[in-house]
A and B are shown apart, each in its own frame.
Chain A
Amino acid sequence: DGGITQSPKYLFRKEGQNVTLSCEQNLNHDAMYWYRQDPGQGLRLIYYSQIVNDFQKGDIAEGYSVSREKKESFPLTVTSAQKNPTAFYLCASSIGQPNTEAFFGQGTRLTVV
């Protein structure tokens, strides 16, 4: 099946710990994105990557880091510098410009305990 796979589905983190969320796609898409969703809100962009080995900050990048070493993979690390990390995280991909239709994974729900 072609698609976007996020893991884990649920993640619990202690304060002060870094955690990494996985996002893998087998759609051969060039562009990948990370969004954050808070309860009752829309999605906000954390980081995006248009091509391997390149990525850009989105609107709320502070306290997060990413890498794009392979076309199919775009992991997100939530660092201890992120003050309020409890949220629902969604990964997306698209073919790339000019077609920007995006497809989403099933999400990872992160809770700080």
Chain B
Amino acid sequence: GIQVEQSPPDLILQEGANSTLRCNFSDSVNNLQWFHQNPWGQLINLFYIPSGTKQNGRLSATTVATERYSLLYISSSQTTDSGVYFCAATYYGGSQGNLIFGKGTKLSVKP
């Protein structure tokens, strides 16, 4: 089945720094999402981005489907950005709508 790999597994930043999180997937996908899991466990939707580039405030994401990767950019990081970031994908031929998750990137932003 499809593999979704995220890097780095852990990231520590000083407040105000920029960062790039990467998601590689092993097969063609028809959906890719980025989530932020807050300290209470809730998954917050960041981007639905099967291809192309989107921006939302300090966050932006790019998916290059032909090269099987997606990037999440966080600029001017804040302590509230801390948490775990997951990417997840559904793929052609898979169980309909079944998101395959990576293991996440744990981000810690220090004041």
Chain A: residues with CB nearer than 8 A to chain B?
Answer: 31, 33, 35, 37, 40-45, 48, 50, 56, 58, 88, 90, 92, 94, 96-98, 100-107, 109
**A106 close to B33 (CB less than 8 A):** no
Contacts of A106 in B (CB 8 A): 40-42
Using CB atoms, name the residue of chain A closest to B106: A40
20 pairs across A/B with beta carbons < 8 Å? A37-B41, A41-B103, A42-B102, A43-B88, A45-B95, A48-B95, A48-B96, A50-B97, A90-B43, A97-B97, A100-B30, A100-B97, A101-B48, A102-B33, A102-B99, A104-B35, A106-B42, A107-B41, A107-B42, A109-B41
B35, B88, B99: residue with the most chain A Cβ atoms closer than 10 Å: B99
9 new A-B contacts, CB < 8 A, other than A45-B95, A90-B41, are: A33-B97, A42-B4, A44-B101, A50-B96, A58-B95, A96-B97, A97-B97, A102-B88, A104-B42
Interface size range on B against A? 20 to 34
A-B CB pair tally, cutoff 8 Å: 69
**A42 close to B97 (CB less than 8 A):** no
Using CB atoms, name the residue of chain A closest to B45: A103
Assuming the contacts A100-B90, A104-B43, asked whether A42 and B98 have C-beta atoms less than 8 A apart, the reply is no
Contacts of A45 in B (CB 8 A): 95, 98-99
B86 at the interface (CB under 8 A from A): yes
Using CB atoms, name the residue of chain A closest to B101: A42
**A100 close to B42 (CB less than 8 A):** no
Complexed CA–CA distance, A50 and B97 (Å): 9
Contacts of B95 in A (CB 8 A): 45, 48, 56, 58
**B97 close to A31 (CB less than 8 A):** yes
Contacts of B45 in A (CB 8 A): 101, 103-104
Using CB atoms, name the residue of chain B closest to A102: B99
- Rounded to whole Å, the gap between the CB of B68 and the closest CB of chain A is 18
